[in-house]
Structure 1
């Protein structure tokens, strides 16, 4: 019995820390000891990719929905909705920003791109612009360039500090998110915890801290374990008053009753802990047998589906997380949004545009089983991937509701309206596509191959930023492996790599080849079918681009080298998407310098 209580006490005192607190190491860029996590938090979460939140304080020039969404590459309408803000934030307002956190090597991070301004250094970007959400050490390591080599207009990669909950945090504490909070003067772990409505002890555990050593410093991040997404951070609830002190009593017989009472309460506490542990274990088992209650409530509503003669359940292929994170629309809502799917709302084929609650939306009608695409899109959260906001199932058809890309598809602009896009806009779109593919290949969990990348599957928002869509043919590399053979070749002719057409070989290099074709379309304004003759004919690509592209002579050689690498017949010799992102960032920087000189 004594042994049992010793083990129980050890278990109660055991703390499986999530990550070490970075301390003041970020203020000295020469410190590279990773025991302080200056490069980033360790990749030790239950999942390699997760939805996370970071807290950013609005300050000029980043004090509007547009400027902050652009800085962090998040959807503006989503940011506005999450923070109940129309267009602007008040100065020093805490802004909740949703990001996708993924493992990159040994570290968890969310990757952004940032354009260097006059006077910027890694230290200034990390601590001034990003308020400690990155570190100068991580920036230098990510970009493999010194702070002295930075120049205005240069594009750099920025790793934002984030982490995914550990298995212990998920199973024992019900933690679903770890919010990255940037410390300001006057903050304490207790105040931070109160702001989020969590126990101080849990925040300390998450940051490998103790009550005796709980000092935090400005421009550093503290991970806050949350069961629900954060909200209402700009009003802090005062801490509850401390319990009234017990008056000393000199009566010895009454003190005996105190001991008895302590003994009873102590025993009750132990029994409560044991009972809670057994309850959690039983609850864990029951979770495996059924989906969360929200799924049950939706299942009860599905009586409107006209599949009474079949046992088909449209939710069978969907994970419980899907119904939790996506809106389940009613069919009459979509009818109202599209004026009953009239031709005036049609954008060709089975696509429609409309307005739901005042916000633009794209609606895609699909026959057959769309559960795989819904499951995939529900896991993705990236600025350069078209966002799925919800779905509807009605009389055998699926309706997928996406964010609205107000400027249509890339193919609408590079052919018929080719003269309206500037060179910088074209190269920015190319970089957006590369960044989205890099996310799919290296940071999505599990990683995916798109398999049908075309200019018609790239959507442009109001700022002409590119977003990858139509992931119906996407294939997981985690399930199938980095290379897999298939007999069923699908996709769009003109974009398909030779090894896929000839042998059915699927890998991420399939997307790299298609990306090369799309870049050619972007810089020439010609369709893939026309370009295929140039590619297959062995013509001089550089000569072709000089005479038939929008590129200035000084940039042609850089783009030619990139495109030729992407289109190499041997897939093993093609670059990876992270290499392409770095190359395009440099080309875009050069393009901006060239345009500014004219």
Structure 2
């Protein structure tokens, strides 16, 4: 069937873009882009420190968005953190003053925005915690509503950081310019960009014309990419409401009815040209085509003969369903599909990947199919893979946490995907736990470092279990999938096997599957034997990971030595009187006894609970996190009291 549309010649396409961009003149404020990732660098390109004081007024009412966290999830805690009036915050979100929100819910925060020097800001304060850095405070605690550059500039002696120090935190806000007020724009909202967001989706959420938002941020149709951890200014004709921040379906911006008389509708109506008609037709054709391709692809895969799910079990390595290389005719369509999923990722030209890795030089090889690369002056880990990577990309497109590895870009060439991740300087955890201490003395982790890493992993996994309405289960949690950055901060990686469990909201805690994937020894018995999937299989794997961390032995070795049953491994220690000799035999010899005996016993008890045969008897990850946090604090106190000498110079900052 042949479809006859408009003749899309190069001249026509150029004319199309020219017409749609003709009204986009100088923007009101420059969008910050990836400036927040350059914390140590000096300078203030693209208003990294704040939005410029170029409005008609020096002070105004402004609004922020904020996604609730476990600590900051109530009206009182959010208003205290962001320096907002709790009554106003409750009113604009249509809740009571005592309201506590669910985790990761977007709320609107009203603030008083005013000029401070050359920049607008709403001021609040924050007290430094034990493991904080300027980057973590800006991007984790305040989620990108401030930047580390702004924090360092506003606080004297920025290098003098210590627990308990009170910081002045400038939040990113702005007041409308004269051009905006002439168009009846009354407020500016600093919207926190999340994975999967785009300018069009955000504009639609608040009922604002797409081009108006572009202009407000000095963006154009051809340069409209936005990134998580940044703010996008949304121009508003009226105060925002809680109904606008509810989840909306992904669809093109809708045109208003001619009868609408609001300023927002007037603004939209004035821009309703034939261009949108053409774009609408094209959008419908593309969506239909992609749907047909996906349907055919799924139908093809379902027709494949399924292997016996237990026949794929390997004793010591990860295993997963293998995908055949993508056919040539499917490559471009799959690339379009993935690009649509990953709106927050950069799609690199393959030549850029080759340059970054020195044409995949052996000197750049990290391990397996992972290469070290340099992109835009920054180190990156580039993983070469094939098959369907859409599941991992979909998850990483939504994930936004410092303890989960970040995917920044991707490329596609001749059936292979090239995924560009943040670079973890200190490599995988297993290289530090199982290294030969005699031949490589640098590969050593102290007791404090091990507990801190365990806490980081627990926080990362707990985030996967709770950031979405249905939990994401990692399914292959192990030491080789935990990466360590320059400060030995742990990051959970390799989410290719991860699965979103549906039905949890209906109290269906366990789901059955016939597709068993993972690593033998790290898999919970109910999953390996019966295909039962729940968050508790990650808890079991976390227990195995902690067991390996404190013993310095791989789970395969432990199983072979102790009769192949992890439930009996700890029976000689747990629940009995502490025996220094027995504990010494159990613990990693490289620690040389430099650990608090009582806390070591306590950690062993945590491991024992994680390894319970019945998943109901295992704790949840959100129970493990505060326990390990207290264990870390107690360990730090112990270290200060005994003045433990650090081995090989590797210590926590």
Query: Superposed, which structure 2 residues align to 1:505-584 within 5 Å?
Result: 505-532=532-559, 533-534=561-562, 535-538=566-569, 539-542=571-574, 545-549=583-587, 550=591, 551-584=595-628
**Which secondary structure does the structure 2 equivalent of 1:569 belong to?**
coil
The residue aligned with 1:91 is 154
Shift in alpha-carbon separation, 1:537–1:162, aligned structure 2, 3 A = same
The residue aligned with 1:483 is 510
Q: Partners of 1:575 and 1:374 in 2: how far apart? A: 29
Q: Specify which of 300, 320, 333 is matched with residue 313 of structure 1.
A: 333
The alpha carbon displacement at 1:370 in A equals 1.3
Q: Specify which of 331, 344, 354 is matched with residue 335 of structure 1.
A: 354
Shift in alpha-carbon separation, 1:516–1:474, aligned structure 2, 3 A = same
The alpha carbon displacement at 1:430 in A equals 0.3
Query: Superposed, which structure 2 residues align to 1:181-196 within 5 Å?
Result: none
Q: Does structure 2 conserve the Cα–Cα contact (< 8 Å) formed by 1:451 and 1:510?
A: yes
Q: Per-residue displacement from partner, 1:206-260 (whole Å, max 9, x unpaired)?
A: 489xxxxxxxxxxxxxx9xxxxxxxxxxxxxxxxxxxxxxxxxxxxxxxxxxxxx
More helix, by proportion? 1
Q: Per-residue displacement from partner, 1:395-441 (whole Å, max 9, x unpaired)?
A: 01001000000000000111216672121111110000000000000
The alpha carbon displacement at 1:320 in A equals 2.5
**Which secondary structure does the structure 1 equivalent of 2:152 belong to?**
coil
Shift in alpha-carbon separation, 1:477–1:552, aligned structure 2, 3 A = same
Q: Does structure 2 conserve the Cα–Cα contact (< 8 Å) formed by 1:18 and 1:205?
A: no
The alpha carbon displacement at 1:69 in A equals 1.5
Q: Partners of 1:515 and 1:490 in 2: how far apart? A: 16
Shift in alpha-carbon separation, 1:491–1:34, aligned structure 2, 3 A = same
Shift in alpha-carbon separation, 1:368–1:116, aligned structure 2, 3 A = same
The residue aligned with 2:440 is none
Shift in alpha-carbon separation, 1:476–1:23, aligned structure 2, 3 A = closer
Q: Specify which of 365, 368, 371 is matched with residue 390 of structure 2.
A: 371
Q: Per-residue displacement from partner, 1:498-528 (whole Å, max 9, x unpaired)?
A: 1011111111100000000111111121112
The residue aligned with 1:384 is 403
Q: Partners of 1:79 and 1:21 in 2: how far apart? A: 20
Shift in alpha-carbon separation, 1:196–1:576, aligned structure 2, 3 A = closer
Q: Does structure 1 conserve the Cα–Cα contact (< 8 Å) formed by 2:123 and 2:168?
A: no
* Length-normalised TM-score, structure 2: 0.55
Q: Specify which of 421, 427, 435 is matched with residue 459 of structure 2.
A: 435
Q: Specify which of 614, 629, 633 is matched with residue 585 of structure 1.
A: 629
Q: Specify which of 471, 476, 480 is matched with residue 456 of structure 1.
A: 480
The alpha carbon displacement at 1:531 in A equals 2.8
Gaps of 5+ in 1: 1-16, 96-114, 134-160, 179-194, 209-222, 224-265, 296-304
Q: Does structure 1 conserve the Cα–Cα contact (< 8 Å) formed by 2:65 and 2:108?
A: no
Gaps of 5+ in 2: 1-63, 67-73, 112-120, 173-190, 214-230, 246-259, 291-324, 438-442, 643-653
The residue aligned with 2:205 is 170
The alpha carbon displacement at 1:377 in A equals 1.1
The alpha carbon displacement at 1:336 in A equals 1.3
Q: Specify which of 408, 414, 432 is matched with residue 413 of structure 1.
A: 432
**Which secondary structure does the structure 1 equivalent of 2:515 belong to?**
coil
Q: Partners of 1:172 and 1:268 in 2: how far apart? A: 11
Q: Per-residue displacement from partner, 1:119-144 (whole Å, max 9, x unpaired)?
A: x9xxx8xxx677899xxxxxxxxxxx
The alpha carbon displacement at 1:331 in A equals 1.2
Shift in alpha-carbon separation, 1:42–1:330, aligned structure 2, 3 A = same
Q: How many residues are treated as equivalent by the alignment?
A: 433
Q: Per-residue displacement from partner, 1:19-46 (whole Å, max 9, x unpaired)?
A: 9997998599999x977766677569xx
Q: Larger deviation: 433-442 or 337-346? A: 337-346
* Length-normalised TM-score, structure 1: 0.59
The residue aligned with 1:252 is none
**Which secondary structure does the structure 2 equivalent of 1:347 belong to?**
strand
Q: Per-residue displacement from partner, 1:278-334 (whole Å, max 9, x unpaired)?
A: 999989987973779xx9xxxxxxxxx996555762235426251x31011111111
Q: Does structure 2 conserve the Cα–Cα contact (< 8 Å) formed by 1:58 and 1:90?
A: no
